[in-house]
Amino acid sequence: MKQETKCIQAGYTPKNGEPRMIPIVQSTTFKYDTSEDMGKLFDLEASGYFYTRLQNPTNDYVAAKIAALEGGSAAMLTSSGQAASFYSVFNLAGAGDHVIASSTIYGGSFNLFNVTMRRMGIDFTFVDPDCSDEELEAAFKPNTKAVFGETIANPALIVFDIERFAKAAHAHGVPLIIDNTFATPINCRPIEWGADIVTHSTTKYMDGHDATVGGAIVDAGKFDWMAHKDKFPGLTTPDDSYHGITYAEKFGKEGAFITKCTAQLMRDLGSIPSPMNCYLLNLGLESLAVRMDRHVSNAMKVAEFLEKNDKVAWINYPGLPGSKYYERAKKYMPNGSCGVIAFGVKGGRKAAEEFMKHLKVAMIATHVADAHTCILHPASSTHRQLTDEELLAGGVSPDLVRLSVGIENVDDIIEDLENALKAV
Ligand SMILES: *Cc1c(COP(=O)(O)O)cnc(C)c1O
């Protein structure tokens, strides 16, 4: 199946007389005829459902659709993108371990790694995604367990060189985790470029309608955990909390990562999305390919307009031939990158705030990457906890305005921007 078809059909195939749409299994628990039947599930001897904190059929249908879209072997949903980022790293690294991350990742991920996960005893090195080979090489330590990057950085819009970082990670025997939220599997499939684990904030384009917060983790099923047995004891040695199961032996390359993440992390931390939210996410996924196409074409026209406007100091959109990331975006995202544009208004922070006051179609919202055109000044909102140095290291200048171009008629969006720029 092609991506457009998978958006509609993958993950759930009704049998004779069954509902056409994914059923919402709004039940916390599941009934069994004998204790023995249920015991097999607890021992991971049989697959099935017993308690929705770990797994639920509605969630699994939607996870299977996302796995198909990314070309992965297994996937799971989480209650937020933050939970997906946390699980993807914590499933591999614990106290005393080290992880390398791109310095331009989403502010929430940066804070999660740099503050909260450091408190848990995990060390992080943040590298410039455009660093030299020597700098990247120097970041690896004997206790490095993963490398983490973002296909298109939110909000800096820096395009990550997935293939290069995958090669470096693999040369050191560790997997590459890619947050593919902004590109979506419609525009980029990181697994094809060597990524081992792909994460999403499904809150953004996948849901696409400002309706549900959620996350997803997809395993490529390619990383050979047993070949690096000493590095990943959580996957390659018996789990005492699961009757001595060794995930990589019992579930192989294709299933070990997601099974461990579900059986241990979801069991103990419980960031499961509600079946209702997964159902809503699925509605978003059905139109994802159509929407992404429109987001990209609208954003391209808006970017061309902004580039020519003399009130605009600078613009970064990977689809513009003038962008530093144009060639890289063409390689990884030949059909277009995303609907998000970063730019600066001449006059800096104050001018940006004045400009935003005059907008009518583009709404001020912390949200990004959905059907509604919205706009944000990160330095005074989402990123206000970061210092100027941290902002700049994250690729966010104090005057950066993040415009998320929606799927409205593009003429209305451009007229709105034009009027607001005139008022500055
Ligand atoms: C929003 C976002 C997240 C966090 O996701 P939530 O669903 O808000 O928890 C992670 N990564 C990226 C790139 C994001 O844009």
Mutate to test the pocket of ligand 1, among 66, 204, 206, 383 (most ligand atoms within 8 A of CB): 204
Q: Is 179 in the pocket of ligand 1 (CB under 6 A)?
A: yes
pLDDT at 191: 98
pLDDT at 285: 98
Give the ligand 1 atom nearest the CA of 150.
13
Q: Is 109 in the pocket of ligand 1 (CB under 6 A)?
A: yes
What single string gives the DSSP state of each residue in 256-268?
A: HHHHHIIIIIIHH
What's the start-to-end Cα distance of the chain, in Å? 49
Q: Is 88 in the pocket of ligand 1 (CB under 6 A)?
A: no
**From the CA of 183, how far away is ligand 1's center (Å)?**
13
Mutate to test the pocket of ligand 1, among 110, 203, 368, 402 (most ligand atoms within 8 A of CB): 203
Q: Is 81 in the pocket of ligand 1 (CB under 6 A)?
A: yes
State pTM to two decimals: 0.96
Closest CA to 337 of 306, 293, 372: 293
pLDDT at 30: 95
Distance of CA 389 to the CA centre of its chain: 25
**From the CA of 211, how far away is ligand 1's center (Å)?**
14
Outline where 71-174 has alpha helix (H): 81-90, 107-111, 118-119, 133-139, 162-171
Amino acid at 13: T
**From the CA of 377, how far away is ligand 1's center (Å)?**
17
pLDDT at 71: 98
- The protein residue whose alpha carbon is closest to atom 7 in ligand 1 is 81
Give the ligand 1 atom nearest the CA of 153.
13
Give the ligand 1 atom nearest the CA of 85.
10
**From the CA of 239, how far away is ligand 1's center (Å)?**
30
**From the CA of 116, how far away is ligand 1's center (Å)?**
16
- The number of beta carbons lying within 10 Å of the beta carbon of residue 381 is 12
Place of tokens 């297994």: 74
pLDDT at 41: 85
By the 10 Å C-beta count (0-12 exposed, 13-18 middle, 19+ buried), 66 is classed as buried
Closest CA to 422 of 343, 336, 355, 324: 355
Closest CA to 272 of 87, 117, 93: 87
CA distance 300 to 302: 5
Domains observed in the chain: 3-283 (3.40.640.10), 289-422 (3.90.1150.10)
pLDDT at 91: 98
**From the CA of 47, how far away is ligand 1's center (Å)?**
30
Q: Is 108 in the pocket of ligand 1 (CB under 6 A)?
A: yes
Structure tokens that stand for 186 in this block: 């419609």
Give the contacts of 224 (CB within 8 A, at least 6 positions apart). Answer: 253
pLDDT at 389: 80
**From the CA of 203, how far away is ligand 1's center (Å)?**
7
pLDDT at 101: 98
**From the CA of 200, how far away is ligand 1's center (Å)?**
7
**From the CA of 19, how far away is ligand 1's center (Å)?**
32
CA distance 244 to 234: 11
Q: Is 181 in the pocket of ligand 1 (CB under 6 A)?
A: yes
**From the CA of 85, how far away is ligand 1's center (Å)?**
8
Q: Is 82 in the pocket of ligand 1 (CB under 6 A)?
A: yes
Encode burial over 169-184: b for 16+ CB neighbours within 10 A, e otherwise: bbebbbbbbbbbbbbb
Structure tokens that stand for 100 in this block: 């390398």
Q: Return the CA Rg of the chain.
A: 22
**From the CA of 82, how far away is ligand 1's center (Å)?**
6
Q: Is 373 in the pocket of ligand 1 (CB under 6 A)?
A: no
Parts of the chain with a pLDDT under 50:
none
pLDDT at 387: 77
